[in-house]
Structures are given as C-alpha cells and as structure tokens.
C-alpha cells in the first residue's frame, strides 16, 4: 500500500470549498497529503479548512481567482514559498450554465470557457514550471462524462470539458519528459450541492438510474480512490489517461 501513500506531499485542489473538490481534497488528506484549498468565497473556504482540520488533516487555504493569470502566478509562487513544493495539483474549479444553444448568451459562453478551460491552463502552467525544475509532479484535471457525451442545453459545457480532455493529453505529451504525469478524472452524475435540484427531480433521477448500469447517482466519496491512485506512485507510468468514474454510463447505450 506504500505505492498509494501521499505522506509528505503537498496537494493544491482548486474549487475545493465544497462538493467534488472538497471530497477530493479529503481523499488526498486521508492518503497523507498536506492540503491547500482554493476558492473565491472566503467564508466557504474557511469553513472547508476548519472542517478538514477538525478531521485531522493539515490544511491551508489560498484564495485566488483561477481565471486571473497574475493572481494565479502570485498565489502558486506564494504556496511554493510559504507552504512548500506542490507535488499534486487537482484542477477542479468549474461551473455550468444551461440554455438552448441557439439562445445561449455570449457572455455565459465566455464565462464557461474562462472558468472551465482557461483556469486549467493557467494553474497547471504556473504549477508545472516549479514541477519541471524538480523533475516530478502529478496533475489531475477534472473532466466529465460530458468530455465524451452531450445532453440538451449544455453544449458550451460539453465543449469546455472536451477541451479539458484534450488539454490533459497535450500536457501529458509536453511534460511527460519531466517526470510529470497529467491525467483526467471524469465524474459521472454525483450528488452535490450543485446537483441537488436534479437529484430531487424524480423524472431526471429515474432517467439517470435507467441510463446508468450502476442504477443510481454516485456519492462524492466514491471519487476518492481514483484521485489518490492518479496522485500516487501507483500511477507512475499512467500519463494522458482519462479515468471515468461514472457507474458505467459512458460504456453503455
């Protein structure tokens, strides 16, 4: 089990004050990592830090906007200086907007692309510059089943997550020679604060249960093992892979 240990490693998780990001941070902490949580809401970030600290994890916070190039560089350099070398980066920050494509506001398109795609590039680039110097690192980009599949009214989100999938492969190709492994973690449909309305929608939940071989929604804790694997020495020769944790929804018609 030593292959899966993250003891002594620092992990930065973006968008980790709630939901999937918080669950991924908790899983990395359980494997021994020192955690750096990121978000824009100072109150939510502090609550997440206090929660994880009370659970026994060494937890720091870094409040910065992942879409702001200068803020990203300053924050990453500050973490490296004040906390220590970032060994694991999880690019989780993202958002969703829904509307028929023919009516989709241009401003919302730009917001989705900035948050879901630009942030992955900006934070990974800033962190990778330090990892390259050390010749070691793990980057996990959070993709989605929408990296492969579309649904009505979310075409821009689907485009953004498809871009993250291919950016992951590009990062793996460019940075593999520096002993940096870059992989994607692609959740299916999970119960979170952001999906609560869909969970409570009986028609949608029935459709999802029928569509998914597992027959149910996922629980965020079920993403933890995949994240720890990709962050650990157990995945030392896994690079450019997209790991779908989706109850089988991408495997079946």
Q: pLDDT tens across 183-233, in order? A: 999 999 999 988 999 999 999 999 999 999 999 999 999 999 999 999 999
Query: What is the rounded average pLDDT of the residues 162-191?
Result: 98
CATH superfamily of this structure's domain 2-248: NAD(P)-binding Rossmann-like Domain (3.40.50.720)
What residue ranges do the domains of the chain occupy? 2-248
DSSP 8-class letter at 200: H
Query: What is the rounded average pLDDT of the residues 45-73?
Result: 98
pLDDT score recorded for residue 253: 87
pLDDT score recorded for residue 29: 98
* CA dihedral of 2, 7, 13, 16, whole degrees rounded to 10: 100
Out of 57, 157, 190, 229, the active site residue is 157
189 annotated active-site: no
pTM for the structure as a whole: 0.97
147, 164 in Cβ contact below 8 A?
yes
3-state helix, strand, coil split of the chain in percent (to 5) is: 55, 15, 30
Sorting pLDDT into bands at 50, 70 and 90, what band is 172?
A: very high
pLDDT score recorded for residue 193: 87
Give Cα 7 distance to the centre of its chain.
Answer: 20
pLDDT score recorded for residue 248: 98
What kind and span of H or E run contains 167? helix 155-175
Given a cut of 90, whether residue 38 has pLDDT beyond it is yes
List phi, psi (to 5°) of 122: -65, -50
Average pLDDT, the chain: 97
Q: How far apart are CA 129 and CA 76, in angstroms?
A: 10
Segment 100-117, tens digit of pLDDT: 999 999 999 999 999 999
């Amino acid at each position: 089990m030593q292959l899966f240990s993250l003891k002594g490693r620092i992990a930065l998780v973006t968008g980790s004050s709630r939901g999937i990001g918080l669950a991924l941070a908790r899983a990395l902490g359980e494997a021994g990592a020192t955690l750096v949580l990121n978000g824009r809401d100072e109150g939510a970030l502090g609550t997440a830090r206090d929660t994880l600290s009370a659970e026994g994890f060494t937890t720091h916070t870094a409040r910065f906007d992942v879409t702001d190039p200068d803020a990203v560089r300053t924050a990453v350099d500050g973490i490296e200086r004040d906390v220590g070398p970032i060994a694991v980066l999880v690019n989780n920050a993202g958002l969703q907007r829904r509307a028929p494509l023919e009516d989709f506001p241009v401003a919302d398109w730009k917001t989705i692309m900035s948050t879901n795609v630009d942030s992955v590039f900006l934070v990974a680039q800033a962190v990778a510059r330090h990892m390259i110097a050390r010749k070691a690192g793990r980057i996990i980009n959070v993709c989605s089943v929408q990296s492969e599949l579309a649904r009505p009214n979310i075409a821009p989100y689907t485009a953004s997550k498809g871009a993250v999938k291919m950016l992951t492969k590009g990062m793996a190709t460019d940075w593999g020679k520096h002993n940096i492994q870059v992989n994607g973690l692609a959740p299916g449909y999970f119960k979170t604060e952001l999906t609560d309305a869909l969970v409570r929608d009986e028609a949608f939940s029935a459709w999802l249960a029928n569509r998914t071989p597992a027959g149910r929604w996922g629980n965020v804790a079920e993403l933890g093992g995949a994240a720890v694997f990709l962050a650990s020495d157990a995945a030392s020769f896994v690079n450019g892979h997209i790991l779908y944790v989706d109850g089988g929804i991408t495997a079946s018609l």
